[in-house]
Every structure is written in C-alpha cells, then in structure tokens.
Amino acid sequence: MYPIMFHLGNFPIYSYGVMLAVAILTSIIYAMRRAPRYQISPDAVVEVSALCIIGGIIGARLLYVLINWEYYRENLTHIFLVREGGLTFYGGVAGALLFAIPYIHHKKYSLPAFFDLFSPPIASGYAIARVGCFLNGCCYGRVCPFSSFPLAVKFPHLSGFRYPTQLYSAAYSLAILFILLHLENNKSFTGELFLDYLWLYGIARFLIEYLRDEPFSMGGIFTLGQVSSLVIIIFSLILREVIKKYGEKS
C-alpha cells in the first residue's frame, strides 16, 4: 500500500487525502455540468457543495470515531487526523444533509431536485474515495483463502491475504452510477433517483460487509454496517413507494 503519496519537504502528503480531494472536486464539477438539467445554477451547486463538504467530513469522522472509540479514547489527538483515513459513508451523508438542508430551504431551492442532481456525482466520488482507502490500507477485508488478485491482496501491516473490499466498493459504486443514469430517464417523481441510490447502495454495502473485517456485533450475525444498511434499504423503498402512490408526479 502507499499511505504516503509523496512529501513536500518534511510534510507528508497522504494518498487518502489526495484521493478524497480528487473525489470531492470531480463530484462538484460533475454536479455543475448536470445542474441545467434540473434548472439549478452552477453557483448554487458550489454553495451547497461547500456546506456538504464541511458537514460530510464532520459527520463521517464523528461516526467513525464513535464506532472506534476504544482506540480514540486512548489516542485523542488522532481524532483530528482525517488525512490518514477513517470516514464513514452514512455519517457523511447525515452530516451533509444536516448542513445543506437548512440552507437549501432558506434559499427556496427544490430539495428533491438537489437530491437527484447530486446522486450520480456521489456515486462517482465514492468510487474514487474508496481507491484512496485501498492506497491507505484501511477498510480492508477479512482473511481470504485465496492468494491471487483480485480475490486477495497482501496488506503489508496485516497477516494473511485479504479481500480488497475497498476496490470491490469502488466497483459497485461505479455500477450504481451507471444504473442511476439509466433510471434517471424513467423516474416517476423528483427525488426518486436519490431514493434509488440509497437502496442500491444499501444492498451492495450489506453484501460486502460479509467480506469486510468488521465484527458481527449485532446479535452475532450482523455487523453494525449491515444493520444500518437494512434500515436505509427499508426506509428508502417504503418512502419511494409511498411517494409514488400518493405524491405529485414530476
């Protein structure tokens, strides 16, 4: 793995931070190019993106620290070392929404339109960020009985060959991206694309959790990520059908 991409003098530039920055930048540019489709100005995309970045990083880091509190309570200074890796997707989404929704409402923008606008860029950005996880050597998989790529990778700091779940996550996020672009032309209401993204991501994340090196801490049969994914899947599918049946058509 290559956790440190290069040095600027004595200052290390972490590969995770670089890939996260690339993911954010490309997602914003992609969203700006999609903005006219939803009658949203590129300037509004930049404004909302700035809030999503701040809220997303805070939320993603906060949830990661809470999940791994056993480590961070003994290493409090490491809580702020985001460039070394350690963000959670669901925490990032929650944080981004908490920061962006009040602003969107205040500006009287269409919230469902923003959700649909940003869904494909989120999928593409997530794929890039997961490559950063792979380079950093975090979010790895369980010990694998195989020893050949892409089924298994040898991480220098870990024993045995491991499933490269970071790359699997990047691949399924790209698959979700193309599915969303196909579904976008046939959606029934504004906001449906975002709900489609949520349940598609939830299913993929639920399945890949079986390969990630996470404890089955929920009743001994599910990981915390799987329980979160089930909640997201059920919520998004039910809400999708309710709006489809009783809401206004787009």
- Percent pLDDT > 90 in the chain is 65
Give the Cβ contact number of residue 46 at 10 Å. Answer: 13
Q: Which residues contact 205 (CB under 8 A, 6 or more apart)?
A: 89, 169, 225, 226, 229
Query: What are the sequence ranges of the domains in the chain?
Result: 4-246
Residue pair 94/145 in contact by the 8 Å Cβ criterion = no
What pLDDT is stored for residue 121 in this prediction? 97
The SS3 call for residue 13 is strand
- Encoded tokens for 238: 């039910």
> What's residue 67's pLDDT?
81
Residue 73 scores a pLDDT above 50 = yes
Cα–Cα distance for residue pair 116/187, rounded to 1 Å: 10
Q: Which residue type is seen at 89?
A: F
Rg (Cα) of the chain, in Å, rounded?
19
- Whole-prediction pTM value? 0.87
Q: How far apart are the first and last CA of the chain?
A: 47
- Interacting residues of 13 by C-beta distance below 8 A, sequence separation 6+: 4, 5, 6, 7
